[in-house]
Amino acid sequence: MKKPLLLLMLFITTVSFAQKSISVDDFTTRPTFSARSVGGINWMKDGKFYSSLQNNKVVKFNVTTGEAVETLVDGSALSPTISIDDYAFSADEKQILISTGFEQIYRWSFRAEYFIYDLSTKTVKKLSPNGKQSYATFSPDGTKVAFVRANNLFYVTLSDMKEYQVTTDGKFNEIINGSTDWVYEEEFGFTTAFFWSPDNNKLAYYRFDESRVKEYNMQKWNQGAAYPQDYKFKYPKAGEANSIIEIYVYDLGTQQKIKADLGSNTDIYIPRVKWTQDANTLSIRRMNRLQNQLEIMHLNTLSGAISTVLTEKNPAYVDINDDLTYLNDKKHFIHVSEMSGYNHIYLYTIEGKLVRQITNGNWEVTSFIGLDEKTKTVYYQSTEVSPLERHLYSITLDGKKKLKLSTEAGMHTANMSNDFQFYIKYFNSATQPNTVSLFATKGNTLIKVLEKNENLQKTVAEYGIVAKEFFTFNTVDGQALNGLFMKPKDFDPAKKYPVLIYQYSGPGSQNVSNSWGGGHFYFHQMLVQKGYIVAIVDTRGTGFRGEAFKKMTYKQLGKYELEDHVAAAKYLSTLNYVDGGRIGIWGWSYGGYMSSLAMTNGGGVFKMGIAVAPVTNWRYYDTVYTERYLQTPQENASGYDDNSPSTHAAKLKGNFLLIHGTGDDNVHFQNSVVLQEALVNAGIQFDSFFYVDKHHGIQGSKTRQHLYTMMLNYVLENL
């Protein structure tokens, strides 16, 4: 039967503009919203080319055109074939160090098989036949490769592939050489703990004696096994003993070692070690246990003499970063610090005398990108435009001629070539997925857009992904806090909507920014499609608004953050389109801690809460992170217990879902066990779920599919 023309036109219009529904599979088991980028960038030494890992090939690109000019190595064409996980060039770019068979240990640590590929002979050699290695690294001249295996440090001379063992006392759960213990890896963010001297003749390395550190027993259930496996590893909880750290320098020629004199107090941290431009001077950064004093020390590796050239103290804590740069003149170094109240760049003499503060203002330098010593130009990223954005700048070493390099509102990062002639810019905003562009630094000239993510832009339009709307509200002390909304596409201000608040809230963090996506973005967009408003809030104690704002939570984590989430809920309740009786909150890790605290000590403001992998008492978390913000439990017991969700378990109101992975080596399953027991003893009904052998990220596409489906259903049924 022939349809009337008007009805047919209406049908066509409806079909053409129908919004696709987001499913859990779209962001867990299917790549519906996958974003493209340009990764694995290695700048070539002549500045005219860069390389990238693409489809198991290391491909060389012309910088000026952005076009591929040569395949340097094809892992699939090698004999035997190699699946390339990562690669690195020797300094002369005649060899490539290839890693394969990646085997993760904790968050950053890993083992792998390494191969040396010779670009001239097109031959490949296995680095070592004696088992997987970790963190293999070329010497500066490319004649040797050092690595760690079984807690010991080794190196291989590539001319004859002979293996030399630097240390012999490495033992699991006792002594670590050349790598880091669990807490250094997690909280100081590095695993490679050995360093080639500039003249190739020495190896500086860490030695961790963790024999006195208490073990945590994390049972692994190993599906199908009759008995679970006990996996015990050294994890120093707040107030407990840490590893004893020693720094050694090994001379390859004499095979002699010198030990740095770090002082009689062994209850310290050495968060960073690096060589200066002088092959006989090693830079060591030492911190006290409470992390409120940082010292930059220089070790003379010939005489063994050590001196402190710079000391920085703070009433709360000193944040550690990688932004310590020694100039080629061997007379100066650059140090980035928030000693002025905001994070800025400083120039010092090699003896530690301040020359000048290079950047200044009530904004933060968020990344020191590099120093072009030929032009005496510093490149950096900052929040000068807004704490919600990141922009790129250059400034001369004398603090003059500041130039803003980025224009569009949003988030900009840069990967600069070694000679500073070019950079690859990564840009995104609340309305623009990742865009990758190649620039010539001179004149800040765009050469080529390498990736626009046009397919993703088309996909998000088809699925009706809604834009972020930013707002501010005042907390109890009058401070303006940042937040954002995601509202249903057919939003009607005359209706009343339930609101789910997502947050992390941890010290120095940020969730509210003019950026694309964010944590759990498509899960939130799915909830928006189902008629919920999702709000995201950054509380006091979060980052990029100056030291005072960030450090006000010192010694009482959870107190001000809870006040702010309650204030946020009350603010939202004043909006005509918000149903004040249907406000929920959820979060993961620190965010799980805060959602647990909001549900137990939040005065019944929240109807529903979900906590994933939460800390429930900071006594169960590690020394470095916890004591930085709370001191030790011995010094500040109330700071640990007054804001513990377990302390307030009997006050829980509303619907509460507690989720944890039993294999979480970071925030131990113990946290949820203790909170559950407190809730049970208080006669409180709640819901809980655990994922067998899953770590802090509750990994795996099928696992994530189950997790998000469960959380979706819980929100739909309880909020």
Q: Which sequence positions are flagged as catalytic? A: 589, 664, 696
Distance linking the first and last C-alpha atoms of the chain: 46
Q: How many CB atoms lie within 10 A of CB 705?
A: 17
Q: Assess contact for 437 and 448: CB atoms under 8 A.
A: yes
| Gap between the Cα atoms of 162 and 117, Å rounded | 16
Q: Which of 561, 614, 616, 609 is nearest to 585 (CA)?
A: 609
Cis status, amide bond into 80, omega within 30 of 0 = yes
Single-letter residue type at 376: K
Is-contact 656 611, C-beta < 8 A?
A: yes
DSSP 8-state symbol, 4: P
E strands in 513-666:
533-537, 578-588, 608-612, 655-661
**Residues 589 and 511: beta-carbon distance below 8 Å:** no
How far apart CA 517 and CA 570 sit, in angstroms, is: 26
Q: Is 526 helix (H, G, I), strand (E, B) or coil?
A: helix
- Which amino acid is residue 318, in one-letter code? V
Q: In what order do the strands lie in the sheet with 123-126?
A: 86-89, 95-104, 110-118, 123-126
Report whether 250 contacts 243 (CB < 8 A).
Answer: no
Phi and psi angles of residue 412, each rounded to the nearest 5 degrees, phi first: -125, 130
Phi, psi of 673 (to 5 degrees): -60, -45
Cβ distance 191 to 177 under 8 Å? no
> Which residue blocks in 496-622 are alpha helix, DSSP H?
521-529, 547-551, 559-573, 590-601
| C-alpha span between 553 and 396 (Å, rounded) | 36
**521-529 helix and 701-718 helix, angle to the nearest 10 degrees:** 40
For residue 52, what are its two tokens?
């990238």
Closest C-alpha to 257, from 328, 187, 153, 398: 153
Are the C-beta atoms of residues 591 and 557 closer than 8 Å to each other? no
